[in-house]
Structure formats: structure tokens, C-alpha cells
Amino acid sequence: MSTIHKIVGVAAGCLLCAAAQGQWNNIGGNAQRNGLSAQVGPDSQNDVLWSGGPSSLISWPPFVEDGRVVIVRQTGFPPSGEPNGSRIHVLNLETGGSQGTINVPFASGDWTTWVLGVRNGRIYASRGGNGASSSAPVYAYDLMTRQQLWVSTFEVDAGFYDGVVFTSDGDLIVGSFRTVWRIDGATGALEWSFPRVCSVSGNCGGVLSVSGDAVYVVDTVAGGQTVKKFSLATGAFQYQGPVMSGFLMQNTPLVSPDGTILVPRVQNNTNVDFLFAFRDTGSAIQTKWQAPSAYYTGASLGVGSDSSVYAFGPGNILTRYDSATGSVLSSYATAIPADFLSPQIAVDAQGRVYVSNGAFSNGMLYCFTADLQLLWSRPVTNANIGGPSLGANGTLVFGGNGTQLTALRTVRGPTCDGVDFNNDGSVFDPTDIDAFLSVFSEGPCIPAGATCNDVDFNNDGSIFDPCDIDAFLLVFSEGPCTLCGE
């Protein structure tokens, strides 16, 4: 088969992969809310792409899709600060320049605008929340034109800290204090809903299984809290896990790449404050391990591509845990200061860990190696849940109050070694593409002389996938090695 036919044959997969790689669609970045990205983030706090932006009293999370940042910037709170006190701003990812705003309709009893997420060229927003005391419809807007596409015929009482996750076909899974909804992303139709009993209103979001066929939520039961599993297709209850002692649940669960369900179940009581890890066997949810935890709320924790877990141990010590055993792999020896600890974590394709402590007066953004050696840090006053979000081209977006809104990006060029794939001494030629696609077509590590590193071209930990083809062809398209510094 010719090179061009091979390229056409995989083009659809490449485009889908490219769409997925450069997005940060929801709090936690993906359907497992684990902060793991295929992007390579910034090397330095000094690699500022742009800074400044619309002012805000409090920092809300930035979402990234199709070269745009979508974020609420708050200038007033209900009722006196509305109807225009919580505008949605659409910004250019490259420049930070405004591409327009959205004022979600305000009715008596509504709360501040919150963005559920951004997916498939649509911005989803509502005015429900305020501890589930306010209900409002869900609105969908076109990302490019900012025109309203639909409004739901029912209301939800979820809010920013609950968040949302998206199914593979773009439907929304919204978890609130007493209900979970599946909403058709294209039409706003209600596909199903089921009742639940969440512990603390405003911290009731769910996550999807790695297989994408189930929803996990944490509900209150006799004696404490438990993970419940529901069918994604129908919303039907399937089974639940062991009871975790304690009467509060103020953090969202997450799921690692190996399928481990992680639950930071804490209430500022060392007797019952633990990070729990569970396995889903297909017929039961079982405890894998538990580790003592610091007290924090509204957290979005992170995992590495090897499923190692980044969370906070007692004394606000950032710790990396083995997903299989819960053993401590490494830790940052200095306690992370925070007047109010609400950690938000993103992990890049090289394993670097970007951590916001979510604090107010002493808010900070940190960058660590995978084994938690500090690389750099910078202050972010009133960080709250304002990122970090890792978008296209490794752009890290985060914010605080006032005009603190920043995008960091390290400019990287192609390397000559990366495009002499067949080692014939000639770089950036069609034979390199032929060789690359030939290896890709054979399956993992089968061809003579091929190594797994050869076909994990974008270093995201996944081999022989369309993302590697995308990355390879992008480097090839840049031209000969004058771009490599030769």
C-alpha cells in the first residue's frame, strides 16, 4: 500500500485523537476526572504565553477546546450582583484576547452562572447550585458563535464543585445532591435520571469507568459512605462497595488508567480521614487499600500514566502512592501551605505534576517531577478551583482573583532523531513515513528491530495509537532540519 493510502486510511483516527489531545473539557480534564493529559506542559513558570484578563472576585475553572478558553469571571453574586455578574468569557488560547461573552438568563432564585464543561464545539452552562438550594435549566451555546443552541425542559441543582463528565458520544453526566442525570449533548433531552443520597451538597459529582460503560458516585449509607455503580446506558443501579466510616464526603472520586476507583473520604478527623482505593471486579467493588489523608475539600486529584496516585497525606504532604498496594513511592518533604486546601492537579505526558493548593491568601501553583522533586512554583492569590487546565500545545491555563489569568507554554521544536525513523541517514523523507506506518500496521513491537519506544512517538505512554501518527506527521510537516537547529 502506498504512503498516501496509509495516511488516508488512518486519517479519521488521527483527527479524533488530535481533538482529544488538546482539550480540557471538564473539571479533572476527562471522564475519569484524574487530571491525566497527553500534552507536554510548560518547563518553567517564566514561559508566559499571555497573562491578564477579565477581572473576577473568585477564580473558577478554565476549560479548553478548539483553540479557545472558556471561563466564568465573577463580578457580583446573586441576587444583587446579577443578572450580569457571572459572565462566561471565551478567550483565544494563543493570545488571551476576548472572542465574546455569554450572559446566561437569570431568573429570581437562580444562582451564579457555572460552566458544566465544553465538548464538541458546545459550551454547557446553568445557574443551579448554591448547595443544591437553587435549580435552573441547562443551556448549550455554540463555542464559535456563542449563540444559544438549546435549553433543557428540566432543571438541575448541581454547581461548579459538582462538575460534570462527558460520555464518549458527548452526553453529559451531571451529579447533584439527590439526583444524577444523563443529558443528550446534542439536543438537551433527558436520557435518564436516578435518585441518590449524597453527603454534602455541592460535592456530588460522578465519574465514568475506564471502560466507559458505568457511572460511579459516592453515596451516604448506614455507617458512612460507599461507592455505587450504575449502568451508563440505562442509569440502573448495579452494586456498591464496602462502607467507608465517616459522615462527610466533600471531594469527587476519580479513576486511574488501571481502573482503580479512588475516594478521598475526609472530614478533618484523623480517625476516619483516608484515601481509599477500590477495584471493580465486574460483579463487586472491593477494597484494595487505604492510606491516611490530610483534610481537604473540593479537590481534583491526579494520577500518572502508570496509575500512580497523587494526593495529600497527613500534614499536607504531597504524596505519590502505588495504585496496586497503596505504598508510598515518593513525597515532597515540605508541607504545602494553605489557608484552605482545595488541591487541583494536572499531570502531563512526561509525568510532571502541576498542583494548585486552591488556597486564598497563600494560593500557589507548583510543578513537580513525577517523583515529586520541586521544579518551580508561583503565587496565585485566591486560587480556588481556577485550574491548572492543560490544553493544546501543552498550554497550562490557571487563574486567581482580580485580573490573574495566565497561560504558560514552552515552545518546542522537532528533533532530527525523531524523524529519521528508518535510520537510513536521511531525515524528513517519505521513506520515514513508510517505515513508521509499516511498524504501526504490524501491531505492538512485532516487526524485527522495532521497539516500543519507536512507536510511542509522542511519549504519552500509549503505543501504536493514532496519536503517534498525528505527532509523527506533524513533525514531518515542519520541514527539514533547519528547524532542528542545524
Q: Which of 408, 425, 443 is the last residue of a domain?
A: 408
Q: Please indicate, yes or no, if residue 22 is contained in any of the structural domains.
A: no
SS3 state of residue 393? helix
Residues in the chain: 486
pLDDT, tens only, 365-413: 999 999 999 999 999 999 999 999 999 999 999 999 999 999 999 987 6
pLDDT at position 420 is 64
pLDDT above 90 (res 319): yes
pLDDT digits (tens, 9 = 90+) for 39-87: 999 999 999 999 999 999 999 999 999 999 999 999 999 999 999 999 9
Whether residues 452 and 380 share a domain: the answer is no
Specify whether 264 is located in the same domain as 185: yes
- For residue 62, what are the contacts with CB-CB under 8 A and spacing of at least 6? 24, 69, 70, 71, 386, 387, 389, 397, 398, 399, 405
Q: How far is CA 256 from the centre of its chain?
A: 12
Quick one: pLDDT at residue 431? 75
- For residue 364 the three cell numbers come to 500557589
Claim to verify: residue 144 and residue 170 sit in the same structural domain: yes
Question: What is the mean pLDDT of the segment spanning 338-366?
Answer: 96
Residue 224 lies in a domain: yes
Distance between CA atoms of residues 261 and 323, nearest Å: 10
> Which tens digits make up the pLDDT trace of 186-198?
999 999 999 999 9
User: Do 8 and 157 have their domain in common?
Assistant: no
pLDDT of amino acid 21: 58
* AA identity, residue 222: A
For residues 385 and 394, give the distance between their C-alpha atoms in angstroms, rounded to a whole number.
Answer: 20
For residues 204, 175, 359, 91, the Cα torsion angle rounded to the nearest 10 degrees is 180
Q: φ, ψ for residue 240 (rounded to 5)?
A: -135, 165
DSSP-assigned states of every residue in 409-472: -------GGGG-TT-SS--SSHHHHHHHHHHHHH-TT-STT--HHHH-TT-SS--SSHHHHHHH
pLDDT in tens, 217-244: 999 999 999 999 999 999 999 999 999 9
Return the amino acid letter for 11: A
CB 417 within 8 A of CB 457: no
Residue 107 lies in a domain: yes
Let me know if 239 is exposed, middle or buried by CB neighbors in 10 A (0-12, 13-18, 19+).
Answer: middle
Note whether 485 and 413 are within 8 A (CB): yes
Average pLDDT over residues 275-286: 98
What is the SS3 assignment for 10? helix
| pLDDT tens sequence across 438-449 | 666 655 443 334
Q: Binning pLDDT at 50, 70 and 90, where does residue 3 land?
A: very low
Q: Which three three-digit cell numbers place residue 75?
A: 463580578
| CB distance 126 to 137 below 8 Å | yes
- Residue 211: how many other CB atoms lie within 10 Å: 10
Tell whether 109 and 238 lie within a shared domain: yes
Q: Is residue 20 part of a domain?
A: no
Identify the CA nearest to 61 among candidates 88, 101, 31: 88
Q: Cis peptide leading into 79, omega within 30 of 0?
A: yes
Range of the domain at 446: 3-15+416-484
Average pLDDT over residues 10-26: 56
Burial bucket for residue 18 (CB in 10 Å: 0-12, 13-18, 19+): middle
Q: Using the predicted structure, report yes or no on whether residue 416 has a pLDDT greater than 50.
A: no
The backbone torsions φ and ψ at residue 18, rounded to the nearest 5 degrees and listed phi first, read -60, -40
Residue 25 lies in a domain: no
State whether 369 and 404 are in the same domain: yes
Percentages helix, strand, coil for the chain, rounded to the nearest 5?
Answer: 10, 35, 50
Instruction: Kindly report, residue by residue over 85-106, the tens digit of the pLDDT.
Output: 999 999 999 999 999 999 999 9
pLDDT tier at 22 (50, 70, 90 boundaries)?
confident
| Whether residue 322 is found in the same domain as residue 465 | no
Instruction: Please indicate, yes or no, whether residues 129 and 203 belong to a single structural domain of this protein.
Output: yes
Q: Which residue has the higher pLDDT, 55 or 419?
A: 55
For residues 208 and 327, state if they share a domain: yes
pLDDT band at 147 (very low <50, low <70, confident <90, very high): very high
The reply to whether 297 falls in a domain is: yes
